[in-house]
Chain A
Amino acid sequence: MQKNRTNWLVTILLLLGSSVILFPLYLTVTIAFKTPQELADSLLALPQSWRFENFTDAIYLTGFFNALTNSAVITVSVVVFTLLTNSMVAYAIARNMHRKFFKFLFYYFVSAMFIPFPIIMLPIVKQTSAWGMDNILGLILLYIVYGLAFNVFLYVGYIKSIPKELEEAAIVDGASTWSVFWKVIFPLLTPMNATVGILTALWAWNDFMLPLVIISDTDMATLPLVQYIFQGQFSTNYNLAFASYLMALAPMILVYIVAQKWIISGVTKGAIKS
């Protein structure tokens, strides 16, 4: 009987601990709605009147909707193309591991995981600007290509656990390798697609370093990059800055509130494999 009783001490400690996470977010929301005067009077209090001008000003100053569109376009394209291409590459590798070329390819991609980005950073910036790729399109391509190292590793492990008999049946029915992949394997990859999709989306949405070095035109800046670019203008007005931060964080928080179960399990699966 004792086993099923709620451990209230631990519950209370965890509730208290969660305030460490929620408090900075509370500050962000309240400051975003305050006037500078209210902020000076009391840091902690709720705003007396919810001031929406901070948001309209921040939208105007940072070109919020432009940055939101850029981030959304980049994230969606990267996720879609990553799922379609990286899974296919991994499938070809996983089913041909007995061949030298494919085995080499697997270790080639996986070993690239250990190369820190700064080693590529300087040359890739020269290269992308010389080829006219210092824009959103270039960024999308780089995310898809750089994701390969980790995603191939995840997919290959998963595909190996899919029995070959399923494919053989389709082959006997006369299906080509392409249609075997798209009609038989790709649907079976759904759990791993979810994991890769979530990890890729988090990465492309939140990444700061790659846009910082690749994007040269302010109009193409992503949400995190915009916060960085306008930091100088924010310095005198925290209310404006926090309205901007809140708007940049909000889309991800909303998605998380709706889909947190899948996000947590997707991220866990990916990380355990590694």
Chain B
Amino acid sequence: MNQRTVVYFLMTIPAWMLFFIFHTYPSLQGIYYSFTDWKGYGDWNFVGLKNYIHVFQDDRALNAYFFTFKFAIISTILVNVISLMIALGLNSKIQFKSTLRAVYFMPNILSILIVGYIFNFIFAHFIPDLAETWGITAFSKNILGDSDFAWIGIVIVAVWQAVAFNTILYLAGLVTIPGDLYEAGEIDGAGPWQKFWSITFPMIAPFFTINMVLAMKNFLMVFDHIMALTGGGPGQATESISLLIYRGGFEGGEFAYQSANAVIYFIVILVISVVQIRLLQRREVEL
């Protein structure tokens, strides 16, 4: 081995070891414990696949999966529709372009937990107070306290925060479209709607893929929003998978059981991401 190669190894090996100790090893440990009955303390035994089977029979876990999926799918769609519209607006001939851009991106730099607390006040006091003053009884209750509607509050905050990031990505895609494509479209007599569907949308297809996959992945991991807004309640109506693993693992003495849940969660996220990328990229090629 020559001296250069030695240096290259010296550059990477410490990082590799640290990464193994603090990332790979705990991941493997998590998988290992998922086959035991360890509570997080005391003795333990191997139990095989028992934890995995129990997750699928556990109403609380199934409820968390159902809530997380419902939340993630709806939020992903809303975020992409809204941010694409804002990006189109920001990309057209407008005044105050850079200021508007700066404003629309701002939610992305703010702590989700604190934003959640601010919205918590808006849902709990601001909207009900306003509704009462105006005599709109339908909105006079705190939606976060209603187990049927609390998830809507979480969607609103999540969308408010996430639109910023997706808008900037779409904007980055829109500026790459050459202007003569639109001129050619105009000569052919295309209206604004047609120009969008036959020029804009196909041209930003890769950005659509990135945005859909990233948004979905992030929303499936939802945690901070829920801690700030509902704490998983009322009851367990808004308990996400991350929150369940955190609660059950640290507070409920279900270390091994929630490790199994985390492994299932990992597989679910991986499968969804891969399927999404495959499907959306196939669409890109066709167009």
**Residues on A close to B: CB < 8 A?**
3-8, 10-11, 13-15, 17-18, 20-22, 24, 27-28, 31, 43, 85-86, 88-89, 91-93, 95-96, 102, 105, 108-109, 112, 114-127, 141-142, 145-146, 148-149, 176-178, 181, 202, 205-206, 208-209, 213, 223-224, 227-228, 231, 238, 241-242, 245, 248-249, 252-253, 256, 260-261, 263-264, 267-268, 271-272, 274
The residue of chain A having its C-beta at the shortest distance from the C-beta of B121 within the complex is A238
The residue from B93, B117, B122, B273 contacting A227, defined by CB atoms under 8 A apart: B117
Asked if A252 and B110 make an inter-chain contact with CB atoms under 8 angstroms apart, the answer reads yes
Whole-angstrom CA separation of A221 from B22 in the bound complex: 21
The answer to whether B249 touches A121, judged by C-beta atoms less than 8 angstroms apart, is: yes
CB atoms of B129 and A43 under 8 A apart: yes
When the two chains form the complex, which single residue of B11, B24, B94 contacts A6, counting CB atoms closer than 8 Å? B94
Q: Are B111 and A224 in contact (CB under 8 A)?
A: yes
Cβ-defined contact, A238 with B125, below 8 A:
yes
Is the CB of B109 closer than 8 A to any CB of chain A?
yes
Chain B residues proximal to chain A, CB less than 8 Å: 3-4, 7-9, 11-12, 15-16, 18-19, 22-27, 29-31, 33, 40, 86, 89-90, 92-96, 98, 100-115, 117-119, 121-122, 125-126, 129-130, 160, 165, 168-169, 171-172, 207, 210, 214, 220-221, 223-224, 227-228, 241-242, 245-246, 249-250, 255, 258-259, 262-263, 265-266, 269-270, 273
The minimal Cβ–Cβ distance linking A15 to chain B, given in whole angstroms, is 7
Q: Which residues of A contact B93 (CB under 8 A)?
A: 3-7, 10
Bound complex: CA A102 to CA B4 (Å): 14
- Complex Cα–Cα for A248 and B117 (A): 12
What distance in Å separates the Cβ of B117 from its nearest Cβ neighbour in chain A? 6
Given A116-B262, A271-B214, answer yes or no on A92-B106 (Cβ-Cβ < 8 Å): no
Assess the B23–A146 pair: CB atoms within 8 A: yes
Task: Classify the interface of chain A: helix, strand, loop or mixed.
Answer: helix
Least Cβ–Cβ distance between B274 and chain A, in angstroms = 9
Ordered by A's residue number, 8 sampled pairs between the chains whose C-beta atoms are within 8 Å are A119-B262, A123-B25, A145-B18, A176-B3, A208-B223, A227-B117, A228-B228, A271-B168
Query: Is the beta-carbon distance between B18 and A274 smaller than 8 angstroms?
Result: no
Q: Return the chain B residue nearest A273 by Cβ.
A: B210
Distance of B52 from chain A, by nearest CB (Å): 14
Q: A118-B262, A268-B169 are in contact. List 12 more A-B contacts (CB 8 A).
A: A7-B93, A14-B89, A20-B160, A105-B12, A112-B23, A122-B259, A123-B29, A124-B22, A208-B112, A208-B223, A252-B110, A253-B106
Instruction: Give the complex CA separation of A256 and B111 in angstroms.
Output: 13
Please pick, from B8, B30, B228, the residue contacting A123 in the complex, using a CB distance under 8 A: B30
Nearest CB of chain A from residue B273's CB, rounded to whole Å: 7
A22 to B40, CA, bound (A): 45
In the assembled complex, the Cα of A105 lies from the Cα of B90 at a distance in Å of 41
* Contact of B106 with A21 in the complex, beta carbons under 8 Å: yes
The distance in angstroms between the C-alpha atoms of A96 and B4, with both chains bound, is 11
Asked if B102 and A264 make an inter-chain contact with CB atoms under 8 angstroms apart, the answer reads: yes
Q: In the bound complex, do residue B266 and residue A267 qualify as a contact, i.e. CB atoms below 8 Å apart?
A: no
B113 touches A228 (CB 8 A): yes
Q: Number of residue pairs across A and B with beta carbons under 8 Å?
A: 247
Shortest Cβ-Cβ A-B pairs, 9 listed = A123-B26, A92-B11, A177-B7, A123-B29, A119-B262, A206-B111, A118-B245, A11-B94, A120-B26
Which residues of A are found within 8 Å of B24, using beta-carbon distances? 112
Closest CB-CB distance, B99 to chain A, in whole Å? 9
Residues in chain A near residue B101, CB distance under 8 A? 264
Please pick, from B96, B172, B263, the residue contacting A268 in the complex, using a CB distance under 8 A. B172
Q: Output the residue of A14, A115, A176 with the most chain B CB within 10 A.
A: A14
* List of B residues within 8 angstroms of A145 by Cβ: 15, 18-19, 22-23
Give Cα distance in the complex from A6 to B94, angstroms: 5
Using Cβ atoms and an 8 Å threshold, which residues of chain B touch A91? 11
Instruction: Tell me which residues across on chain B come within 8 A of A96, comparing CB atoms.
Output: 8
Contact between chains at B23 and A89 (CB < 8 Å)? no
Contacting residues, chain B, for A21 (C-beta < 8 A): 103-104, 106-107, 160
Cα of A200 to Cα of B82 in the assembled complex, Å: 27
Closest Cβ of chain B to A220, distance in Å, is: 17
A122 and B262 contact, Cβ closer than 8 Å, known pairs A91-B11, A224-B114 = yes
Residues B165 and A267 in contact, CB atoms below 8 Å apart: yes
Residue contact B168 to A268, C-beta cutoff 8 Å: yes
Query: Are A208 and B262 interface neighbours, CB within 8 A?
Result: no
Q: Given A10-B89, A121-B245, A238-B121, do A267 and B168 touch, yes or no (CB 8 Å)? A: yes
Q: Would you call B92 and A120 a contact (CB within 8 A)?
A: no
